[in-house]
A and B are shown apart, each in its own frame.
Chain A
Amino acid sequence: MQRELMFGAAADPGEVFAALSARYCVQTDPATSLRWICLDTADWRLHRAGMTLLDARRGHTAELILSAGECDAITAPARARSWPRRLETLSPSPVRDRIAHAVGVRALLPFAEVDVRSIQFRLLDDDDKTRVRLQVDQQRLRGANQAALPLRVLVSPLRGYERDAERCVGLLDDAMNMAGEGMAAATVAMTAAGFLPGQPSVRPPRLDPAAPAVESLVGVLRRWMDLIDIARPGVLTDVDIEYLHELRTAVRATRSMLSLAGGLLPRTEVERSAAEFAWLGRLTAPVRDLDVHLLELADGATADLSGLADLEPLRRHLLTRRRSALNALRVGLTSERGASLSGDWRRSLDLVAATQHPAPTTHDSAATQARAAYRRIVKAAAPVTPGTPADDLHRLRRRCKRMRYLLDGYESVYRPGPHREVLSALKKLQDCLGEIQDSDVQSRQLKEIAAVLTRRDVSVDTVLAMGALRERAMRRDAAARHDLAGRLQRFCAPSTLDAVRALDTRAS
């Protein structure tokens, strides 16, 4: 098996040559140069799936190299010369097929660009037979954090000569200062470029249960503002649709927290900020709704619709509307109001943080809020039946979301076991309510769009296909409503109530 060794950035191939010459006749090939770019999605989907994707460029040729675990790397010509890119813009290839599931709708972004000067070494025995092959890579990170990276030595044993490879590693270890083994070059490069593969772009704050609740609330709100700021450029450039989803999630979380714990903050500030975030939520809603529609159309599940080809006019209509909605969103985000939201909010939070807030503690506040949020859901759930109107269920769903953001924001101060239990029951309920709402929205919008398209003389086949799509949404709605009673029962069960009470770290 190939071994990947790293030595200090100051090490050079000459040292490798000298270390091995003591025992072997070392033959070298002329050095070659290449540049590789490490690609992944913004949320590290490839890394989390155990894959490394490189765009390797040598002269005028470029190829995508995908490695995953112990399997042999697979390659494909890389015709794309610039990143980021969405998957559908790459030429069809085995590499694209292999990463498609993991990448999903996210774009591939360049995380680190490295220049490599590579020399092949062959260690020969007395018969001039190759016993071990080595590749010695001098690497240099390009870009803002440009720096020499560790010298990388790949030791490839030949079958039947594994001992020579071990001896070779031993010789190098003795003569040179090995920085480590098994560190993937891509990971090393991305880390040097300032990224932590696999880690969220903004880590949840570690809250002190004994600290004043306001202090923790400010920490939680700052994190969500960080997430909004990180997602904002991706929304503006429309790199992929998940940036908007992330931005909206953080906006909703902020609004929920202001609603639940806003009493801890100055009232005027809460009212002003709540209005700003509500505006941002409304601004972003149309594009997201259209994204959900388009995803539904692109989803493989849609394949069971016999009239899929007939839905093309619908898809074009949705894309046109999306372009227009995206323009409006961009105007809003780059307007004075949109541009100043983050700065104003951060200044407000700084002012709040700078003042003294002795009580209540984070611990008290988090526990009280969780119980209150739970009670509100149970109260709203009491009159629910399978026939409850969608708008009423939407109100219940919003209460669930508020509790979810609370559990996410204060996760570090809740007891882990009960937290998992409550979260599990809540997620199942949310999924069910989400399905009902999405189906309802889709069903209503399809009816509206059908009216618009009919005026434009679309074919009867298209209208019928849209009818089939709407019928499918209604079936999903019915199925979710059928499940709802069970999910509510579990969430409102005494065991979940006990778990909510047990979130409090002081509970016995």
Chain B
Amino acid sequence: MRSLALYNIKGGVGKTTTAVNLAYLAARDGSRTLLWDLDPQAAATYMFRIRPRVKGGGERLIRGKRPLDAAIKGTDFDRLDLLPADFTYRNMDLILDGTKRPTRQLQRILEPLGSDYDLVILDCPPSISLVSENVLRAADTVLVPLIPTTLSMRTFDQLTEFVRSVSYQTRLLGFFSMVDRRKRLHREITDDLTRQRADIATSAIPALSLIEQMAVRREPVPHFAPRSLAARRYEQLLAEAMSEGQGTLST
């Protein structure tokens, strides 16, 4: 089972939309896929029309009192399941802090699902916390959505430095999100950095109203607009994320 996480300290950068679309595409292309909505705001759960509730809350899952697979829900799409968000996830840090080896808990509880799924995608809440440390340790690849601005790049570099400092084996792969090519800064940063840096994906996700419509239609973009530019970009991004390329180190 491979694991992919969508993570950024900031909110509103396209983590959830990307997680939902990539999960849908992976399942469509034949991978048995699980999307875990770790964000108590439950946006991914909402997109799949599933109730944001886990019996017993996050604590029972983390402490192993309720097996993870008992909380999993099937989505409307073949091979795609969701582990819903729950409002108690807001206390996930406290729950993790109360365990032994608090940064390894997600990795531990995901392990038994290895035979059920080919891919697990973690949609993370925007924060720097024990949850994010767990995610950085558990995921094979962490996809980091970046708005094409200087400050975003600085945050990405800080994250890269952190991962290097704690010697996690995860591969960090940034990608530009919500790119508005009418803006000169977006164009320049996107074009330059995708060329220059191996840890930035070449596929960038444009800022399109089609993507915003996901929340209204409650469907992944490639499902309701399979031939759209956005769908194609998500397909390219998934291919890059699933490739074995090494992009951890900044150039």
Tell me if A129 and B76 are in contact (CB < 8 A): yes
Which residues 110-154 of A sit at the B interface, judged by CB distance below 8 A? 122, 127-130
Tell me if A128 and B73 are in contact (CB < 8 A): no
Task: Say yes or no for A272: interface residue by CB 8 A criterion.
Answer: no
Bound: A161/B75 CA distance, A: 10
For A378-415 the 0/1 string (1 means CB < 8 A from B) is 00000000000000000000000000000000000000
Task: Say yes or no for B159: interface residue by CB 8 A criterion.
Answer: no
Task: Say yes or no for A499: interface residue by CB 8 A criterion.
Answer: no
User: Which of A122, A130, A158, A159 neighbours the largest number of chain B CB atoms within 10 Å of its CB?
Assistant: A159
For B75-104 the 0/1 string (1 means CB < 8 A from A) is 110000100000000000000000000000
For B196-215 the 0/1 string (1 means CB < 8 A from A) is 00000000000000000000
Tell me if A129 and B72 are in contact (CB < 8 A): no
Q: CB within 8 A of A161: which of B48, B71, B73?
A: B73
Tell me if A161 and B49 are in contact (CB < 8 A): no
Task: Say yes or no for B74: interface residue by CB 8 A criterion.
Answer: yes
Bound: A128/B216 CA distance, A: 13
Q: Which residues of A contact B71 (CB under 8 A)?
A: 160
Tell me if B73 and A127 are in contact (CB < 8 A): no
In the complex, residue of chain A having the shortest beta-carbon distance to the beta carbon of B69: A159
Q: Which residues of B contact A157 (CB under 8 A)?
A: 74
Tell me if B50 and A129 are in contact (CB < 8 A): yes
Q: Which residues of B contact A122 (CB under 8 A)?
A: 76
Shortest A9–chain B CB gap in Å is: 30
Bound: A122/B74 CA distance, A: 13
Tell me if B73 and A159 are in contact (CB < 8 A): yes
Q: Which residues of A contact B76 (CB under 8 A)?
A: 122, 129-130
The count of chain B contact residues (Cβ–Cβ below 8 Å) is: 12
The count of chain A contact residues (Cβ–Cβ below 8 Å) is: 10
Shortest A4–chain B CB gap in Å is: 18
Which residues 161-201 of B sit at the A interface, judged by CB distance below 8 A? none
Bound: A157/B218 CA distance, A: 21
Tell me if B49 and A160 are in contact (CB < 8 A): no
Tell me if A159 and B49 are in contact (CB < 8 A): no
User: Which of B73, B76, B81 neighbours the largest number of chain A CB atoms within 10 Å of its CB?
Assistant: B76
In the complex, residue of chain B having the shortest beta-carbon distance to the beta carbon of A127: B49
Shortest B131–chain A CB gap in Å is: 23
Q: Which residues of A contact B81 (CB under 8 A)?
A: 159-160
Which residues 129-184 of B sit at the A interface, judged by CB distance below 8 A? none
Tell me if A128 and B74 are in contact (CB < 8 A): no
Q: Which residues of A contact B49 (CB under 8 A)?
A: 127-129
Q: Which residues of B contact A158 (CB under 8 A)?
A: 73-75
Q: Which residues of B contact A128 (CB under 8 A)?
A: 49, 218
In the complex, residue of chain B having the shortest beta-carbon distance to the beta carbon of A131: B74
In the complex, residue of chain B having the shortest beta-carbon distance to the beta carbon of A128: B49
Q: Which residues of B contact A129 (CB under 8 A)?
A: 48-50, 76
Q: Which residues of A contact B75 (CB under 8 A)?
A: 130, 158
Q: Which residues of A contact B48 (CB under 8 A)?
A: 129
Bound: A161/B50 CA distance, A: 11
Shortest B188–chain A CB gap in Å is: 43
User: Which of A129, A130, A161 neighbours the largest number of chain B CB atoms within 10 Å of its CB?
Assistant: A129
Shortest A153–chain B CB gap in Å is: 19
Bound: A122/B48 CA distance, A: 15
Which residues 150-187 of A sit at the B interface, judged by CB distance below 8 A? 157-161
In the complex, residue of chain B having the shortest beta-carbon distance to the beta carbon of A157: B74
User: Which of B72, B74, B75 neighbours the largest number of chain A CB atoms within 10 Å of its CB?
Assistant: B74
Bound: A159/B79 CA distance, A: 10
User: Which of A122, A130, A158, A160 neighbours the largest number of chain B CB atoms within 10 Å of its CB?
Assistant: A160
Shortest A166–chain B CB gap in Å is: 15
Shortest B247–chain A CB gap in Å is: 33
Q: Which residues of B contact A161 (CB under 8 A)?
A: 73-74
Q: CB within 8 A of A159: which of B51, B74, B218?
A: B74
Bound: A24/B71 CA distance, A: 23
Bound: A5/B72 CA distance, A: 26
In the complex, residue of chain A having the shortest beta-carbon distance to the beta carbon of B49: A129
Bound: A477/B17 CA distance, A: 73
In the complex, residue of chain B having the shortest beta-carbon distance to the beta carbon of A130: B76
Bound: A122/B50 CA distance, A: 16
Shortest B78–chain A CB gap in Å is: 9
Shortest A189–chain B CB gap in Å is: 26
For B41-77 the 0/1 string (1 means CB < 8 A from A) is 0000000111100000000000000000001111110
Shortest A77–chain B CB gap in Å is: 16
Bound: A160/B72 CA distance, A: 6
Shortest B151–chain A CB gap in Å is: 38
Bound: A245/B144 CA distance, A: 68
Bound: A7/B48 CA distance, A: 33
Shortest A72–chain B CB gap in Å is: 10
Bound: A127/B73 CA distance, A: 15
Which residues 67-103 of A sit at the B interface, judged by CB distance below 8 A? none
Bound: A157/B51 CA distance, A: 17
Q: Which residues of A contact B51 (CB under 8 A)?
A: 127
In the complex, residue of chain A having the shortest beta-carbon distance to the beta carbon of B116: A159
Q: Which residues of B contact A127 (CB under 8 A)?
A: 49, 51
In the complex, residue of chain B having the shortest beta-carbon distance to the beta carbon of A158: B74
Tell me if B72 and A159 are in contact (CB < 8 A): yes
Q: Which residues of A contact B50 (CB under 8 A)?
A: 129
Bound: A395/B213 CA distance, A: 86
In the complex, residue of chain B having the shortest beta-carbon distance to the beta carbon of A126: B49
Bound: A128/B218 CA distance, A: 10
The 8 listed contacts between A and B (C-beta, < 8 Å) are A128-B49, A129-B50, A130-B75, A158-B74, A160-B71, A160-B72, A160-B81, A161-B74
Q: What are the nearest 3 A-B pairs in CB distance?
A: A158-B74, A160-B73, A129-B49
Q: With contacts A159-B72, A159-B73 known, what are 6 further pairs, Cβ within 8 A?
A: A122-B76, A127-B49, A129-B48, A160-B73, A160-B74, A160-B81
